Amino acid sequence: MSHTHHAGRHFLQIPGPTNVPDRVLRAIDQPTIDHRGPAFGAMGRDLLADLRKIFQTAGPVVIYPASGTGAWEAALTNTLSPGDSVLMCRTGWFATLWNDMASRLGLTPIFLDTDWRRGADPAAIGEALSGDAQHRIKAVCVVHNETSTGCTSRIDEVRAAIDAAGHPALLLVDTISSLASIDYRHDEWKVDVTVAGSQKGLMLPPGLSFNAVSAKALVAAEQAKLPRSYWDWRPMLEANKTGYFPYTPGTNLLFGLHAAVQMLLEEGLSNVFARHDRHAEATRRAVRAWGLEIQCADPRHYSSSLTAVRLPPGHSADALRATILDKFNMSLGNGLGILKDRVFRIGHLGDFGDLQLLGTLGGVEMGLRAAGVPHRSGGVQAAIDYLAGNA
């Protein structure tokens, strides 16, 4: 934290937690109520019904008072048994962490690695499944939007590859940084467990996470042998039928979630996605105008939630971020894993408008100059030209 005094609001442009809109803050700022009382039950029923629309599912969505990591664990422990093989697409840092968790839980991961510059490879998934005639692979795990690289995997194509192989594996997808930012269809893509979190596209503070659950996943949960208690879907789904929870829920975060879901539905999901696509395109135009390189090397996998930007060789992304925080009071995302100090990440997801984007890009451009990173000026102008021409 810088000790310099800064007037004006801090720009929190990491790719999550994102800026929390005032309407959500106001909704959270209420007296906590009895989570077994009638007012809570009415709110819970309403919320659990509307939440399904955000996942584009008609099935249940489980809410945990936990960060996204908890919902990863829930997805694995509810559906799998010790020693089960799981096909894990290691597309970046978050996929790697999920893989590590699978190993610690006693699963047997089979890795499909990428160069961290694109999404999961559907052909490689299809090949691995076709070679598994005994159906030892019980699940395919994919991170929809890899937040460490700014690459989005094509879940529709992953689904098609699984179907083409005629393989019964479950499909588990992490949408922690894509839900409510990038089009995502739990039912249409026949995803079995969708993992999500509160602090990114859903515009809430950290502290809630989610599992959207298919009928096939519910059947798998009856057979799964990994130990589970706190994360067990079954008591949760039973209590949720009447709008309640088996243990104390994050009551005030749920007030906020209720408001956030209403905001998203009022804007309309297709408009929300188009807004994110537009801001991402404007950001990429700025990066190209600066003469810098986008980490994602395949335009079909460009992320609409964030853009990871590579520094020229010999320049430190962390030094740039430190300069920008110190001089302009803006936080940008750091490079993770093999990308440490190599990239910085611009978050453009959540409650975000054109002028916030231009302020963000302005801070980056001034920071590049202040930190002595070789670049051309004119990135902000390129973004303005695109936004103004695509209002």
Ligand X SMILES: *Cc1c(COP(=O)(O)O)cnc(C)c1O
Map the footprint of ligand X across residues 14-43, applying CB under 6 A.
16
# residues contacting ligand X (CB under 6 A): 12
Query: Can residue 122 be called a binding residue for ligand X (CB under 6 A)?
Result: no
Cβ proximity to ligand X, 147 vs 214, nearer residue: 147
Residues 6+ apart with CB under 8 A from 127: none
Nearest CA among 178, 191, 167, 189 for reference residue 302: 178
Residue 170 touching ligand X (CB under 6 A): no
Report which residue's Cβ sits closest to ligand X.
Answer: 68
334 binds ligand X, rule: CB under 6 A: no
Contact with ligand X (CB under 6 A): which of 80, 142, 143, 171? 143
Out of 60, 68, 150, 256, the only residue in the binding site for ligand X (CB under 6 A) is 68
347 binds ligand X (CB under 6 A): no
Which is nearer to ligand X, 102 or 165 (by Cβ)?
Answer: 102
Instruction: Let me know if 355 is exposed, middle or buried by CB neighbors in 10 A (0-12, 13-18, 19+).
Output: exposed
Going by their DSSP bridges, the two strands 209-213 and 193-197 should be labelled as: antiparallel
Among positions 177, 214, 240, 251, the unique one binding ligand X when judged by CB under 6 A: 177
- Among 79, 169, 107, 88, which Cα is nearest to 133's? 169
Which among 30-38, 52-60, 66-74, 309-317 is the span making contact with ligand X, rule CB under 6 A? 66-74
Q: For residue 219, is it left (φ>0), alpha (ψ between -120 and 50) or beta?
A: alpha
- The answer to whether residues 71 and 197 touch, using CB atoms and an 8 Å cutoff, is yes
**Burial class (CB within 10 angstroms; exposed 0-12, middle 13-18, buried 19+) of 223:** exposed
174 binds ligand X (CB under 6 A): yes
Find the binder of ligand X among 23, 67, 160, 291 (CB under 6 A). 67
Stretch that binds ligand X, among 63-71, 104-112, 214-222, 345-353 (CB under 6 A): 63-71
Q: Which positions touch ligand X (CB under 6 A)?
A: 16, 67-69, 94, 143, 147, 174, 176-177, 197, 206
